[in-house]
Amino acid sequence: MIYKRSSALFKEAQKVIPGGVNSPVRAFKAVGGDPIFVKEAKGAYLYDEDGNRLIDYINSWGPMILGHAYPPVVDAVVEKAKKGTSFGMPTEIETKIAELAVSMVPNIDKIRFVNSGTEACMSAVRLARGFTKKDKIIKFAGCYHGHSDSFLIQAGSGAVTFGSPNSPGVTAGTAKDTLLARYNDLENVEEIINSNKDEIACIIIEPVAGNMGCIPPVKGFLEGLRTLCDAHNILLIFDEVMTGFRLAKGGVQELLGVDADIVTFGKVIGGGLPVGAFAAREEIMNHLAPLGPVYQAGTLSGNPLAMAAGLAMLTELNEKSEVFDSLAKKTEYLHEGIAKVLIEKNITHTINRLGSMISIHFSEKPVVDFESAAAGNNDTFKKFFHGMLDQGIYIAPSAFETWFITDALSYEDLDETINAARITAESL
Ligand code: PLP
């Protein structure tokens, strides 16, 4: 495939946009080469500026669960836009989507809409701190909760559990309140809690991780976190920005039967428009301004276009809940097909999957946390990525990202993908 125009557009973009992109992963740094510039998309396909058609396994990093330019969502946005695009005043549609979300997700009475997953997670942590009157938080190495300061933290040196900033601009003062734990390691979490007695406001976790590839929780892990949180007056925040309205109508809480105190959303909830949200039981949510003392606000929060897209998307998922089964079956088919061709070619790999999230790791050992994800062979991943891309298959441009399956994929698309994996595997 030829990507001449994309490369030319990338050159132009780099003159006026840092790195030529408005979000770093788009620059293909992890896999090399120039990013592809998209012209339009429909269903399971992206059409780029060179006229190539790509089968899309990223789907805007999750939101397009029913496919690109999904008619009910597009129609809802177009109709709304004709009536004004922002008012900074309450609108009925905000209540409508809130009622629907609250009816779909377990354990939440109230929801507040924001403009991104980052905002949702940042606000959820502030709310947890305000509610518990404690400062420290526990997050897991390899989990991503957006780019707000408290989350851009890496493990500190040696035995120290305090984090240190992993981006210039994040202060040591902020980092000292974020404690880093190992995903799927309950003992490690318990140790951290015990050495920070009565100081921890919340544990924030991707209940199925998608930012170190797809890593499902091992049996008992989330349940164990719930027990620890109850025992120590700590709030459990499920960051369901990826998993919410994707793995089940009610997200991971419903799928795995573990209750969270605060849940954050993004991606699917906005149907492809910039939306995030956080939600909890009434007692917690009533701490938010204007009812309570914890401040949080947004000029464009609850924006009518975003709410129209989100409401159309959630309505579809609510009414057609068989879609979650359909997605899981398609993902399983892809998993089995790709595993078969990699085994045929003797390529060491591990495939992780849950529902419609899947990732391939060129690694011998099970991938259960950040360390084991990082042990994968990145050179093989790069070759796999470019081999697939050359055949018109767009997978995550990093070994540390999950793929997001869309229901718009047909079994013919999946077969085409498996065949591309067979051809790619020959040159790995
Ligand atoms: N939380 C998770 C689990 C995510 O995957 C992401 C983004 O990918 C975020 C939060 C941040 O969301 P946004 O990019 O909308 O700010």
Q: Is the CB of 94 under 6 A from ligand 1?
A: no
CA 289 to chain centre: 27
> pLDDT digit string (tens) for 116-156?
999 999 999 999 999 999 999 999 999 999 999 999 988 66
Domain that holds residue 411: 4-69+322-426
Same domain, 281 and 188: yes
Return the pLDDT at 160.
Answer: 47
Cβ pair 414, 336 in contact under 8 A: no
Domain boundary among 301, 319, 337: 319
Q: Is the CB of 63 under 6 A from ligand 1?
A: no
Is this prediction's pTM over 0.90?
A: yes
Domain boundary among 265, 290, 319: 319
Q: Is the CB of 239 under 6 A from ligand 1?
A: yes
Domain boundary among 270, 289, 319: 319
Same domain, 350 and 395: yes
Same domain, 152 and 203: yes
CB atoms inside a 10 Å sphere around CB 416 = 16
Return the pLDDT at 159.
Answer: 45
Same domain, 257 and 370: no
Same domain, 134 and 234: yes
Return the pLDDT at 394.
Answer: 98
What string of DSSP letters covers 237-266? EEE-TTTBTTTBTTHHHHHH----SEEEE-
Same domain, 381 and 288: no
Q: Residue 407 is part of a domain; what is its CATH number?
A: 3.90.1150.10
Give Rg (Cα) of the chain: 21
CB atoms inside a 10 Å sphere around CB 312 = 23
Interface ipTM above 0.90:
yes
Q: How many domains does the chain have?
A: 2
Return the pLDDT at 161.
Answer: 54
Same domain, 303 and 333: no
Closest CA to 180 of 200, 150, 216, 154: 154
Task: Give every residue of the chain whose pLDDT is below 70, as ranges.
Answer: 155-162
Same domain, 312 and 331: no
Same domain, 154 and 226: yes
Same domain, 162 and 86: yes
Cα separation values, 371 from 24, 181, 193, 365, 378, Å: 22, 12, 21, 11, 14
Residue of 25, 115, 118 to test ligand 1 pocket, by largest number of atoms within 8 Å of CB? 118
